[in-house]
Structure 1
Amino acid sequence: MNPAGAQKLNPAIVNDYFNKLDVVLSKLGLKSRPQNIYYMDEKGVRLTLHHKQHVLSKTGAKRVHIVSREHAENVTVVACTNAIGNVIPPVVLFKGVRCRKSFKAGLPPCSRVLMTTKGSMTGEVFVKWIEHFAQYKPPGPTLLIMDGTKCHLDISIVDEAEEHEITLFCLPNSTTHELQPLDKAVFCSFEHYWDQQLLHFREQYPEDPDRKLTKDTFSEVFTPVWGKCMNLSNISNGFRAMGIYPFDRTVIPEEAFAPSSVRHREEEQDVEDNAPLSERLAALSLGSRDSAKMKNKINSPFQELMPSSCKKIKKTISAPRKKAITTEHKS
């Protein structure tokens, strides 16, 4: 976990998020209409294995290898589902300018392919995705929950969403590792099935063990994986675990806030240390008998450890001051 995630995932921010989500759901009347509560997210997919694999070999073999490209092209898949498990057809973002027909062949029904300069989401592409989303969402007011990435925040996106009765709702920054339904329930299984299907893709052509996955053959791996991970159970469990539907602000466990608790104590201490000197002196001067007793207790150990010569010096310094005070009082 990065420092930003540890700091931002704290009870104050999460409670504020659930308060605002509660207001929006009530205002749109969606607490009893889960079919109009959607969440979208982008999934980066490298055209190679995503994790290290276990390799079977003969007993005693010390060097066993599986060859895979270290640096492969990145593809972005835009996924979107609602709280009852309905899935919007995916949008695949390839790097490049021209889109070939072979890029679309074999993808899930009604999928769309868009070309971008880096194979990732941009503001202009997100407007096109809103148009795609509006074709398949149910009629009526719809809530679309997403992360607050820069490419999701533009006035043109808001205008396009308003035309289709879509209300955009952003998750708090650096909290998506605990508040994203797709990350928790869908994308984890996607990683597992992706590597499994890619190995199967290579095994189909034993005469070409170094066969690479390309844009033209992307659907041969992606489409089976998409069907396995985008199932009703995974999706509904994700929305339930994040407290979106059914709405439940208590689903995030206390241990999830543990990394931020140390930061909270440090901030409280900083506030106390940085308080104005006048306030700190006023707080000390407001002491009662208990504070006076405590002060004596604090000073007593030092007085006991103080050498006798120092005690005599202290008395001689304080004696004239007492005498001056009493003289003024008599006059």
Structure 2
Amino acid sequence: MPPKARQNSRNLAEQEARLLLAISALENQEICNIREAARVYNIPRTTLQRRLNGYTSRLETRANNYKMTQNEEESLVQWILSLIRRGAPPRPSYIREMANILLAERGTTPIQSVGENWVSNFIKRHDEVKTHYSRRYDYRRAKCEDPKAIKEWFNRVQITIMQYGIVQEDIYNFDETGFAMGLVATARVVTRANYYGKTPLVQPGNREWVTSIECINSTGWALPPCIIFKGKVHIEGWYQDPKLPRDWRIEISPNGWTTDEIGLRWLQKHFIPTTISRTTGKYRLLILDGHGSHLTPQFDQICSKNNIIPICMPAHSSHLLQPLDVGCFSPLKRAYGSLVETQMRLGINHIDKFDFLEAFPEARKSAFKAETIQNSFAGAGLVPLDPDRVLSQLNIQLKTPTPPPSLSTNSAPRTPYTARQLEKQASTVKKLLRARTQSPSSSLETRLDKLIKGHELHFNELVLAREEIRDLRASNKKQLQKRKRSTRQLAITDGLTIQEGSEQFQRENEVHEAQNTIPIDPGLSAVEPRVRAPPRCSDCHNLGHRRLQCPNRVPN
């Protein structure tokens, strides 16, 4: 703010403070004359007289060049915040469209509209909202972020710990993470000043997949990893690197992913021997996700025989509840990508398994620090047990709030139905109040303004809700039309134009209808009704009579 404008603002604030003191002195009858109060407090008499007549301060008065009223903008802010809570933050163009709808509901002619830069100025005026780049968020993951399900998870963890007497030193978390060998990490770089856009960074580009099974303890130490390479045989060179720790484990699979057999071998030959000597209590708690290799009967049987209590997190919630995902995997991949970038700068244009085994130990050492592991368990709310640490992050509700109730159609004719009509009614009520009461109390006018503001906010919310319902109905109509479309298949590998495909399916439908239609020959006679066969005697075995009517029957 320029110095002159800052000085003017300070003078206005000081004058406003003196005005309030003068009004207070007049209301308390400390000074009985308006002219005397203006002289004592060094303020203009006309300004004091206008303030006593109900006019507001210029500091509190909204500028005249705004397209929307303050209540309309506040309604728009509340609508934006409701969309954010549902995980659907609006774009600036959508906000501008809703603002134009609110202006159109005034009923004035000509219909006003906001400009191209109105949204940016609107956001600057309101501290509750701010522009950010959006990020993709899976619906199934957001759907599982239910506070009730999260609370049930923490209750289950607490009950398990108390039931088996598990100490904090015996709490573990394990999971798998994957790497594309030759991809670098996205990072901030220095480039020339006149360059626009994102700077391209050359990378080797080898996307062969490798998986690492990691396990960490709540006290801050990590088990040796189990690396899974894509392949069918082991290579001798993998085991000849002197820098590679001897307690690391290497597995192979057809695609570089983990399997049920690898998970069982890791549990039997890796986890149990490594942790048994460091176990404090009788039971060990193993926190894991719902991956298929963790839910086999053999896996559960081995855990039961070795006093290991496995406990699975709710589906699609590992980004909140799993310590490895909360604090370890992200720095691990970032460190590995940085090392790949270093190799690229040295002229290495292809990263193979030998290069991975050389770079991965260094990346893992920088990521799996004791402090990082302990903070990961704390961030997941497990050690120490603190559910509020996670529940405070749940800010998306995947449900549509109940819209405000519609106005009754049986109201009196003078009842306002729009914000414009409400404004006229409020102006009329204030004039009647001033006419019937020579000096209306400020508390009464304040209460009236609050009522008017509340009704105006409801009017604006109703306009926004109607527009949202209209969009939802249009979307639902499209979904119904999509469900009515046929799902018949055509066994043709070549491409078809829309016309050719339509004709081909039409021919297929005609053939199908022809096969299901049975032709009726008009020359065929009607089918005669069935006739019951004559009875057969059980004594003489002749047709036409029964045993009791048999002529050869000997009377008793």
Given the two structures, how large is their TM-score scaled by the length of structure 2?
Answer: 0.45
C-alpha distance in 1 between matches for 2:192 and 2:153 = 55
Does 1:179 pair with 2:295?
no
- Cα displacement string for residues 80-127 of structure 1 (whole angstroms, at most 9, x for unaligned residues): 011001211100000111111322334334000001111111111100
Equivalence for 2:410: 300
Contact 1:55 1:65 in 2 (8 A): no
2:355 matches 1:217: yes
1:226 pairs with one of 364, 380, 396: 364
Aligned twin of 2:177: 43
What is the deviation of 1:58? 5.6
Report runs of 4+ in structure 1 exceeding 6 Å deviation: 61-64, 302-305
Q: Is the 8 A contact 2:142 2:398 kept in 1?
A: no
Percent of aligned pairs with the same amino acid: 22
Within the candidate set 267, 271, 296, 1:130 is matched to 267
CA contact (8 A) 1:147 1:171 kept: yes
Question: Is there any run of 5+ residues in structure 2 with no aligned partner, and where?
Answer: 1-136, 416-556
**C-alpha contact 1:77 1:93 (8 A) present in aligned 2:** yes
Q: Which residue, out of 216, 220, 225, partners 1:85?
A: 220
Aligned with residue 144 of structure 2, among 1, 5, 8: 8
Shift of 1:50: 4.0
CA contact (8 A) 2:183 2:206 kept: no
Aligned to 1:114: 251
CA–CA distance in 2 between the matches of 1:24 and 1:300?
60
Which stretch has the larger CA shift, 134-143 or 55-64?
55-64
Take 2:333 and 2:298, find their aligned partners in 1: how far apart are those partners?
33
Over residues 37-73 of structure 1, what are the superposed CA-to-partner deviations in whole Å (9 max), with x where a residue is unaligned?
Answer: 0000111111012433555556657897543244510
Deviation at 1:26, TM superposition (A): 0.7
1:151/1:265 CA distance change after superposition, 3 Å: farther
Structure showing greater relative contact order (alpha-carbon pairs closer than 8 Å, 6 or more residues apart): 1
Secondary structure, counterpart of 1:173 in structure 2: coil
Q: What SS does the aligned partner of 1:17 have? A: helix
Cα distance, 1:174–1:158 mapped onto 2, change above 3 Å: same
Match of 1:25 among 154, 161, 167: 161
| Number of residue equivalences | 269
Residue 51 to residue 217, structure 1, CA distance change in 2 (3 Å): closer
Q: Secondary structure, in 3 states, of the residue corresponding to 2:389? A: coil
- Kept after mapping to 2: 8 A contact 1:28/1:141: yes
Secondary structure of 2:390's counterpart equals: coil
Separation (CA, whole Å) in 2 of partners of 1:48 and 1:226: 17
Cα distance in 2 for residues equivalent to 1:304 and 1:230? 71
Amino acid at match of 2:317: T
**Relative to total residues, which structure has the larger strand share, 1 or 2?**
1
Give distance in 2, aligned partners of 1:264 and 1:115: 48
Taking the aligned partners of 1:21 and 1:62, their CA distance within structure 2 comes to 51
Cα offset for 1:241?
1.2
C-alpha distance after superposition, 1:196-218 (max 9, x if no partner): 22223344xx4xx2432111221
Q: Determine helix, strand or coil for the equivalent of 1:263.
A: coil
| Distance in 1 between residues matched to 2:355 and 2:206, nearest whole Å | 18
3-state SS in 2 of match to 1:167: strand
CA shift at 1:5, angstroms? 0.9
Larger deviation, residues 163-172 vs 190-199: 190-199
Q: TM-score, normalised by structure 1?
A: 0.74
Give 1:15's aligned amino acid: K
RMSD (CA atoms): 2.7
CA distance in 2, matches of 1:249, 1:298: 45
- Unpaired runs of 5+ in structure 1? 270-293, 306-331
Match of 1:194 in 2: 336
CA distance in 1, matches of 2:272, 2:389: 30
Partner of 1:160: 302
Q: 1:118 to 1:142 in 2, by over 3 A?
A: same
Structure 1 residue aligned with 2:208: 73
Counterpart contact for 2:203–2:344, Cα < 8 Å: no
Residues 102 and 245 from structure 1, CA distance in 2 versus in 1: closer, same or farther, beyond 3 angstroms?
Answer: same
